[in-house]
Structure 1
Amino acid sequence: MKVLKDEDVQSRPGLQDWRVLAGRLHATFRSGSMTRGIELVRRIGEVAEELNHHPDVDLRYYRVHVVLTTHAAHGLTERDVSLAGRIGAAAAELGMPAEPGRPRAVEIAVDALDIPAVMPFWKAVLGYRTQVGPGQDEAGAVDLEDPDARAPSVWFQQMELPRPGRGRIHVDIHVPHDEAEARVRAALHAGGHLVSDVYAPSWWVLSDAEGNEACVRTWQGRD
């Protein structure tokens, strides 16, 4: 299966309700009630069985969150595009509007001088598993994921030298590309500081008043 570029997926006709975040396709639909949300989940299940491609679905009182990826390909494929279109059509038929600015994905990044020495600890304490990407073997992987796809993933960034005075764990917040600048402005207005925007719009590095860092990230500029 061919893995599609993020830009290709985000620009597809019929996917205006969906946003690419951290290599996955996300959508949030406002159901307004649990009963209506269950009906949308039922319709999603029927389509997923028909296409033999199954999303992650999070049912809440007022909303249904849906995440798509092709696990066998380690990325987004035409199967995700087809299923997203069908799910969006089902939500529209049920009168459930999309909220494309609401999806988000969170990752925790750990800077390490010796990744093989620290990664097993985090894998054990979190109860996570190694995430093996395309062309990788487990020995070379630097990502951990929740087996149930509920909690934030963790990835390890190689440090060359110690960095006194800076934290070595930061949070990555993946947001819709058309919401990123507003999110950065909101963080700065809330007392944050801009550390660097040299890689924007791929990511902005921010910190709180005490220097704890977070990155606001989008799919743009990452292919």
Structure 2
Amino acid sequence: MTYADSTTERIRPQRFHETVGLEDWRVVGEGACAYFRTGSFAAGARLVQAISDIPGVGDDHPDVDVRPEGVIVRLITVTDDYYGLTERHIELARRISATARALDISADPSAVQTVQVTVDALNGSGVVGFWRALLGYRDRANSDEDLIDPHRRGAPFYFQRMDAPRPQRSRVHVDVWVPYDQAEARIAAALEAGGRLVNDADAPSNWVLADPEGNEACVGVAGPPGPAAHRP
């Protein structure tokens, strides 16, 4: 049986993280990601070629970013009615990790993250239309509050509804999705650099921070393993 024959059942981040053999991978805001430290562009190209030779890999079109120092692989299903992980990503992730090990290339799970721009809006539909046209983005599946880059390279935009104007606060902020085991260190570094904690009511899945001038940012975590995992 090839990878392409496996199930396409939708799964949540916790299911992915609880599966043995996926230690190289972390689920962040934009799917399951792995970073492989290749050390050179040539080694990265060899890894990409080897990944492309995995039977059935083309059916799910993994996103691959090759740089001189490493390769980022992202697994996510993007269709008209779904944006997320499926059961088939589990086996594909295992095979990609095995392929990297065969080339003596190691993974660094701490190096992955997703950055999302969040816009607070009173009139969501009007605001979304402006940004859709300006960025050349399109709606995310089953959502009129999210825009994604059709080329799958730019940061996604999320539009958060406001019930009343908030002139005393910034209306645009950045969401940083990090691996579940890196959140505390990332928050500590931001606080040490002059930031402050605004709200941790949704911890351990989300923290709101602010820089020294009050500009806000959120740190998000998707699905750490264990029964208390966040289920977005």
Give the TM bin, normalised by the shorter chain. over 0.9
Query: 1:48 touches 1:54 (CA, 8 Å); kept in 2?
Result: no
- Structure 2 counterpart of 1:80: 89
Describe how 1:10-25 pairs up with structure 2 within 5 A.
10-25=17-32
Structure 1 residue 62: deviation in Å? 1.1
Query: Given the alignment, which residue of 187, 190, 193 partners 1:190?
Result: 193
- Structure 1 counterpart of 2:5: none
Q: Please give the secondary structure, in 2, of the residue aligned with 1:89.
A: helix
In structure 2, distance between residues paired with 1:85 and 1:165 = 48
Asked if residue 152 in structure 1 is aligned to residue 155 in structure 2, the reply is yes
- The gaps in structure 1 that reach 5 residues or longer are none
In structure 1, distance between residues paired with 2:24 and 2:73 = 11
Q: Please give the secondary structure, in 1, of the residue aligned with 2:106.
A: coil
Asked if residue 93 in structure 1 is aligned to residue 96 in structure 2, the reply is no
- Quote the RMSD (CA, aligned, Å): 1.3
In structure 1, distance between residues paired with 2:71 and 2:161 = 37
Asked if residue 54 in structure 1 is aligned to residue 61 in structure 2, the reply is yes
CA deviations 1:104-124 (Å, max 9, x no partner) are: 001000000010111111111
Structure 1 residue 49: deviation in Å? 4.0
Describe how 1:62-77 pairs up with structure 2 within 5 A.
62-72=69-79, 73-77=82-86
In structure 2, distance between residues paired with 1:168 and 1:218 = 22
Structure 1 residue 201: deviation in Å? 0.9
Asked if residue 34 in structure 1 is aligned to residue 37 in structure 2, the reply is no
Describe how 1:122-141 pairs up with structure 2 within 5 A.
122-133=131-142, 141=144
Structure 1 residue 52: deviation in Å? 2.6
Q: Please give the secondary structure, in 2, of the residue aligned with 1:76.
A: strand
In structure 1, distance between residues paired with 2:169 and 2:57 = 51
One-letter amino acid of the structure 1 residue matched with residue 191 of structure 2: L
In structure 2, distance between residues paired with 1:204 and 1:151 = 23
Structure 1 residue 78: deviation in Å? 1.5
Query: 1:56 touches 1:68 (CA, 8 Å); kept in 2?
Result: yes
Query: 1:113 touches 1:159 (CA, 8 Å); kept in 2?
Result: yes
Query: Given the alignment, which residue of 169, 181, 185 partners 1:166?
Result: 169
- Structure 1 counterpart of 2:52: 45
Deviates more, 1:12-21 or 1:63-72: 63-72
In structure 2, distance between residues paired with 1:173 and 1:74 = 19
Structure 1 residue 222: deviation in Å? 3.0
Structure 1 residue 22: deviation in Å? 1.3
Deviates more, 1:123-132 or 1:106-115: 123-132
One-letter amino acid of the structure 2 residue matched with residue 150 of structure 1: R
Structure 1 residue 34: deviation in Å? 1.0
Structure 1 residue 50: deviation in Å? 5.2
One-letter amino acid of the structure 2 residue matched with residue 164 of structure 1: P
Divergent runs of 4+, >6 A? none
- Structure 1 counterpart of 2:12: 5
In structure 2, distance between residues paired with 1:50 and 1:112 = 40
The alpha-carbon distance between structure 1 residues 48 and 203, as it changes in their structure 2 partners (threshold 3 A), is farther
Figure out how many residues of one structure are paired with residues of the other and give that number. Answer: 217
In structure 2, distance between residues paired with 1:200 and 1:166 = 22
Asked if residue 113 in structure 1 is aligned to residue 122 in structure 2, the reply is yes
- The gaps in structure 2 that reach 5 residues or longer are 1-7, 224-229
